[in-house]
């Protein structure tokens, strides 16, 4: 008998369209002979499933079920494909935990921690695994002064929403007069803003997942943006960025990156597929941690699918591992 998988897509943030593309890839690579796959769209206004006939069926949020032709559909597993809130920040994870429905990816505590860049940095610093650039977090409802900010970080800096993805609202600031407009741009995306010192160097992204009790690190990707940095346009516009998978790295640097990635994954108690981003400092050759993505992009040309193929797997094989791990989760 086939098991029912809910593939949740959409979300409340500017990453809605990215999620739709990711879930298209996931859906086409899940084994339809083993599973009944129902793509559930989640927005602030409604949660629903669209039938092949085009009918919209609302989800019963009391038990996360569907009623189709007088038949009640319950789900054996949820595959979370939402980037940003509520799929990457712990909200849906907590909901499914209360209902007792297994799901892919990190639990609600890990998701909420890693989604907050400032908190994640503070926790990782205590483990002494990797270098982390100096930063300061400011809040929408608490007055700030540029003087206090510049006592803690020096220009140039990146100004980012503290809880956001896909580089939405991110600016690189090299001159003092650019700082306030950049902060306002970031506050348009989030009520918290992180201001982080710029590290000059090569940018890398690397996927990692667990399988049968073992942490497996995928081949890394080097990101070479034709813009000043890897912003939303660079991520999602063809030809703006070169993504080299597998990245060309000295063996010792690659080994260090792989070891640190596995160590961070375990230190943060991650689960499922996670992507970590780094800068390799051009001046001292040290790796600097940028962020953790607990629901990384899965559109066909996204970094994780590239890395899966570079590792010699098909996406169908890879997603089967992710599903099996979620079913076997303790």
Q: Which fold has domain 135-197?
A: Dna Ligase; domain 1 (3.30.1490)
Q: Which two tokens stand for residue 251?
A: 């063996």
Asked if 330 and 56 count as a contact pair (C-beta separation under 8 A), the reply is no
Q: What are phi and psi of 74, to 5 degrees?
A: -105, 155
Beta bridge pairs of residue 242: 224
pLDDT band at 306 (very low <50, low <70, confident <90, very high): very high
Intervals of CATH 3.30.1490.20 along the chain: 135-197
Asked if 271 and 284 count as a contact pair (C-beta separation under 8 A), the reply is no
Tens digit of each residue's pLDDT (9 = 90 or more) over 214-241: 999 999 999 997 756 544 454 445 566 8
Residue with tokens 């000043």: 228
Is a pLDDT exceeding 80 seen at residue 266?
yes
Distance from C-alpha of 328 to C-alpha of 330, rounded to nearest angstrom: 6
Q: Provide CB contacts within 8 A for 209, sequence distance 6+.
A: 215, 216, 218, 272, 273, 274, 321, 322, 325
- Which stretch of 49-58, 80-89, 102-111, 264-273 has the lowest confidence by average pLDDT? 49-58
Q: Which fold has domain 3-104?
A: Rossmann fold (3.40.50)
pTM: 0.91
pLDDT band at 165 (very low <50, low <70, confident <90, very high): low
- At 227 the pLDDT is 59
What average pLDDT is seen over the chain?
93
Intervals of CATH 3.30.470.20 along the chain: 112-130+201-327
Q: Which two tokens stand for residue 204?
A: 């890398």
Q: Which two tokens stand for residue 138?
A: 């400011």
Distance from C-alpha of 306 to C-alpha of 85, rounded to nearest angstrom: 25
Q: Tell me how far CA of residue 79 lies from CA of 45, 87, 224, 293, 322, in angstroms.
A: 21, 10, 31, 16, 9
- At 236 the pLDDT is 47
Residue 289's nearest CA partner among 274, 301, 303, 302 is 274
Distance from C-alpha of 316 to C-alpha of 25, rounded to nearest angstrom: 10
- At 234 the pLDDT is 46
Distance from C-alpha of 19 to C-alpha of 36, rounded to nearest angstrom: 20
Q: Provide CB contacts within 8 A for 147, sequence distance 6+.
A: none
Domain over 112-130+201-327 is classified CATH 1.50.10.10 = no
- At 226 the pLDDT is 73
Is a pLDDT exceeding 60 seen at residue 299?
yes
What is the arithmetic mean of pLDDT over 64-72? 92
Q: Which two tokens stand for residue 193?
A: 């803003």
């Amino acid at each position: 008998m086939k098991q029912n998988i809910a593939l949740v897509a959409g979300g409340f943030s500017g990453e809605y369209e990215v999620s739709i593309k990711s879930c298209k890839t996931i859906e086409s690579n899940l084994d339809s002979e083993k599973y009944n796959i129902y793509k559930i769209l989640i927005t602030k206004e409604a949660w629903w499933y669209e039938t092949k006939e085009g009918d919209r069926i609302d989800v019963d949020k009391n038990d996360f079920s569907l009623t189709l032709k007088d038949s009640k559909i319950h789900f054996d597993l949820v595959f979370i494909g939402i980037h940003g809130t509520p799929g990457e920040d712990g909200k849906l994870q907590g909901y499914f935990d209360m209902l007792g429905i297994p799901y892919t990816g990190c639990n609600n505590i890990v998701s909420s921690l890693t989604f907050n860049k400032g908190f994640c940095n503070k926790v990782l610093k205590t483990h002494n695994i990797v270098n982390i650039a100096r930063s300061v977090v400011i809040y929408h409802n608490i007055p700030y002064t540029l003087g206090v900010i510049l006592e803690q970080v020096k220009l140039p800096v990146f100004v980012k929403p503290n809880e956001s993805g896909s580089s939405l609202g991110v600016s690189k600031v090299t001159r003092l007069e650019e700082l306030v407009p950049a902060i306002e741009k970031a506050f348009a995306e989030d009520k918290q803003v992180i201001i982080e010192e710029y590290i000059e160097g090569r940018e890398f992204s690397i996927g990692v997942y667990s399988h049968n009790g073992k942490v497996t690190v995928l081949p890394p990707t080097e990101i070479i943006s034709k813009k000043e940095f890897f912003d939303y346009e660079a991520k999602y516009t063809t030809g703006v960025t070169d993504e080299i998978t597998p990245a060309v790295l000295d063996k010792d640097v690659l080994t260090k990156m792989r070891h640190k990635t596995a160590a961070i994954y375990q230190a943060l108690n991650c689960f499922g597929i996670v992507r970590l981003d780094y800068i390799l400092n051009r001046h001292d050759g040290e790796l600097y941690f940028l962020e953790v993505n607990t629901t990384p992009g899965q559109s066909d040309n996204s970094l994780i699918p590239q890395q899966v193929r570079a590792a010699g797997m098909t996406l169908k094989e890879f997603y089967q591992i992710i599903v099996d791990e979620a079913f076997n989760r303790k």
